[in-house]
Structure 1
Amino acid sequence: MASYRCAVVIPTKNAMSVLPKVMDKVLSQHTPWPYQVIAIDSGSRDGTREYLRGLDRVQLIEIAAEDFGHGKTRNLGVAAADADFVAFLTHDAEPVDEHWLAGMVATAETDERIAGVFGRHTAYANASPFTKSDLDQHFRGFLQHPLTVYKDLDPDRYANDQGWRQLLHFYSDNNSLMRKSVWERFPYPDVEFAEDQLWARSIIEAGYWKAYAPDAAVYHSHDYSMVEQLRRAFDESRNFTRYFGYRLSPNIGQALTAMGKFTLQAWRQQLDPVYGKVTLKDRLERAGQRISLVAGHCLGANYEKLPVSLANRLSLDQRLFKS
């Protein structure tokens, strides 16, 4: 029998600019049971390891930078967890309140067939108005469907509707929780990208359920530069093509049309005032990000046609693994 109801696993790397606030929130969670906290650091050089060593309640696992893998490292954390459930955060995902962890576990406890739970992301206060709006719209979309989904909810739709399959396997280990007994049958795959969504697809196809916990929220957002956006979009598209057979923006003509559409939208789109004042700088950055997004998706969908050296230069994940 497990010693803890839940463990929280956080991979870290050079995280001192954000990690202390995250750990303060993680260590002050209000739960009716004790919980375990595990950090896995992969060669930090900015004081992250020393900081974590000083936290009495945190179990620190240290690995070499070259041993990191999105799925492999998280599997190491689950294996070390002496708990029924394992929640995941990234080192820049800060729980919004002290009830985050209890909410994740309570959602999983509603039915023993629930293998995984994902929670909502909300933008940091300093994020651009467009980033704030995008995140809200993305996660609001899940409220249009049952909060708990599974393959047999609509078998015909699962077989024939790619968008529905994408909805069912959406899962983000920036803010997630899994049932350890299911992980023992279905560990994370050791891949460069999308280990979380590949895992979700595997449990959905095995007949398990996946749940959304909208109140178990974290602050997590990025305002990417054009180059960062291009590289991230390239990795996303290339790996969706590899692993799921989805080609995001595969046609260059369609991609150019989409770039024009998104550029106009960046200049014309009116956001709810709750997201803050939209400046000229915001609109310029938005146009650049959207152009880079579509370009990255198009390049990634056609990665087989690119020289290997160019594909490696475009990939942010490859750079992270090499570093």
Structure 2
Amino acid sequence: MIKASVIIPTKNPGPVFKSVLDAVRMQDVGFDYEILVIDSGSRDGTVEYLRRLSDARLRLLEILPSEFGHGRTRNLGVARTTGEYAVLLTHDARPASNKWLANLVAVADSDPHIAGVFGRHVAYPNASPFTAAELTMHFAGFEAANVVQIDDRERYDRDEGYRQYLHFFSDNNALIRRSVWESIPYPDVDFAEDQMWAQKIIEAGYKKGYAKDAVVEHSHDYAWFERLQRSFDESYAFRRLFGYKLCSGPRAMLRSWCALTLRDLGYAQQHNLWRTNFRAVVGMPWDHLMRLLGHYLGARGDSLPNSLRTRLSRDKRMLLGLLNTGTRESK
């Protein structure tokens, strides 16, 4: 019986994908697992590479680019596999050890009421030191309790920060229980599908797990305009889907910019980054400015002209309405 089905959506992932897939195939586990790669139109040799591999656990499912949707494609992957757990990974999230999969499954196995588990991210070795530090701080916030659920409904209803903490979920590196997915599938949205799903399972009374030792290398150092685009997408989606306003106004943006910049200047001083990575230190305040400006604009996305929203969005698929269909699967 298949215990876990690892599902990896791809599109032009580049050289990193080979090391990601190698790491997945080399997992040290005491159970059977399968791997499904769903490719949506790669033209960088990814499909040809997959077809050359000889591994009975591995299957390739090809879909048209217009068929891709972050929630929809993951639902397709779960439907086309059979494991007790569906393990979701992005094509640039590389398991950091051969115990990654076993550690994810161990948390889920510890309690049948756990509907989903997400794992820790660390930065790639060549990432900006500020990116690495931010990831460390972010995931450290989940270490106090590795299994959570709504334990105070009144607080959940009134406290936005508590709600965000409980429904944070990242399917760059995650596991979902198939029996729960059958009644609560991913929402068919093009952004924040993972957190929307987590909100649904939390509000349905299930638990959510965090696997500190299920680590992947996954990070991005965006150019400044790319940072603005990414932040716009995040903020616009959170405003539409959850009602959150990630930046309430210009004064809040300025206060946040000052706080983040001073924090990271202190980090730079502590770690001698002025000497070892001067370029990252100089660029850091601008990166924060682009992030916060993206949050400010995204929170007001519905009031912007459609042409400007299109320009500001990094995830162009969010704005496409193509209707073509078709899939092709191979072993």
1:182 aligns with 180
How far apart, in 2, do the equivalents of 1:65 and 1:277 lie? 45
Equivalent position amino acid for 1:90 in 2: T
Q: 2:191–2:318: 8 Å Cα contact kept in structure 1?
A: no
How far the C-alpha of 1:252 sits from its partner, in A, is: 2.1
Q: Deviations over 1:110-152 (max 9, x none)?
A: 11000000000001100111111100011011113x211111x
Q: 1:262–1:291: 8 Å Cα contact kept in structure 2?
A: no
TM-score, with structure 2 as normaliser: 0.92
1:296 aligns with 294
How far apart, in 2, do the equivalents of 1:55 and 1:173 lie? 25
1:271 and 1:291, CA in 2 relative to 1: closer, same or farther beyond 3 A? same
* Structure 1 position 148 matched with structure 2 position 147: yes
How far apart, in 1, do the equivalents of 2:121 and 2:245 lie? 25
Q: 1:226–1:292: 8 Å Cα contact kept in structure 2?
A: yes
How far the C-alpha of 1:82 sits from its partner, in A, is: 1.1
Equivalent position amino acid for 2:282 in 1: L
Structural mapping, 1:232-271, within 5 Å: 232-270=230-268
1:266 and 1:78, CA in 2 relative to 1: closer, same or farther beyond 3 A? same
How far apart, in 1, do the equivalents of 2:81 and 2:275 lie? 44
1:228 aligns with 226
RMSD: 1.9
How far apart, in 1, do the equivalents of 2:20 and 2:66 lie? 25
Q: Secondary structure at the match of 1:138?
A: helix
1:305 aligns with 303
How far apart, in 1, do the equivalents of 2:10 and 2:188 lie? 18
Q: 1:133–1:271: 8 Å Cα contact kept in structure 2?
A: no
Gaps of 5+ in 1: none
* Structure 1 position 215 matched with structure 2 position 213: yes
1:56 aligns with 54
% identity of equivalent residues: 48
Q: 2:89–2:172: 8 Å Cα contact kept in structure 1?
A: yes
The equivalent position to 2:170 in structure 1, one of 147, 169, 172, is 172
Structural mapping, 1:181-200, within 5 Å: 181-200=179-198
Q: Deviations over 1:185-224 (max 9, x none)?
A: 1111111100000000000001111000000100001111
Q: Deviations over 1:174-193 (max 9, x none)?
A: 00000011101111111110
How far apart, in 2, do the equivalents of 1:272 and 1:174 lie? 31
Q: Secondary structure at the match of 1:285?
A: helix
1:271 and 1:9, CA in 2 relative to 1: closer, same or farther beyond 3 A? farther
1:109 aligns with 109
Q: 2:23–2:97: 8 Å Cα contact kept in structure 1?
A: yes
2:14 aligns with 16
How far apart, in 2, do the equivalents of 1:217 and 1:97 lie? 7
Equivalent position amino acid for 2:229 in 1: R
1:277 and 1:125, CA in 2 relative to 1: closer, same or farther beyond 3 A? farther
How far apart, in 2, do the equivalents of 1:307 and 1:207 lie? 40
* Farther off after superposition, 154-163 or 68-77: 154-163
Q: 1:150–1:204: 8 Å Cα contact kept in structure 2?
A: yes
Q: Secondary structure at the match of 2:120?
A: strand
Q: Secondary structure at the match of 2:111?
A: coil
1:320 and 1:15, CA in 2 relative to 1: closer, same or farther beyond 3 A? farther
How far the C-alpha of 1:255 sits from its partner, in A, is: 1.6
Q: Secondary structure at the match of 2:141?
A: helix
How many residues get paired?
Answer: 319
- Tell me which of the two structures has the higher relative contact order, counting C-alpha pairs closer than 8 angstroms and 6 or more residues apart: 2
Q: Secondary structure at the match of 2:84?
A: strand
Q: Deviations over 1:73-102 (max 9, x none)?
A: 111100011110010110000001000101
Q: 1:115–1:209: 8 Å Cα contact kept in structure 2?
A: yes
How far apart, in 2, do the equivalents of 1:81 and 1:288 lie? 44
How far apart, in 2, do the equivalents of 1:30 and 1:157 lie? 41
Equivalent position amino acid for 2:95 in 1: P
How far apart, in 2, do the equivalents of 1:194 and 1:269 lie? 30
How far apart, in 2, do the equivalents of 1:274 and 1:81 lie? 49
Q: Secondary structure at the match of 1:217?
A: strand
Q: 2:273–2:281: 8 Å Cα contact kept in structure 1?
A: no
Gaps of 5+ in 2: 323-331
How far the C-alpha of 1:66 sits from its partner, in A, is: 1.1
Q: 2:84–2:177: 8 Å Cα contact kept in structure 1?
A: yes
2:82 aligns with 82
* Farther off after superposition, 300-309 or 5-14: 300-309
How far the C-alpha of 1:27 sits from its partner, in A, is: 0.2
Q: Deviations over 1:8-41 (max 9, x none)?
A: 0000011132111001100000111110000000
Equivalent position amino acid for 1:160 in 2: R
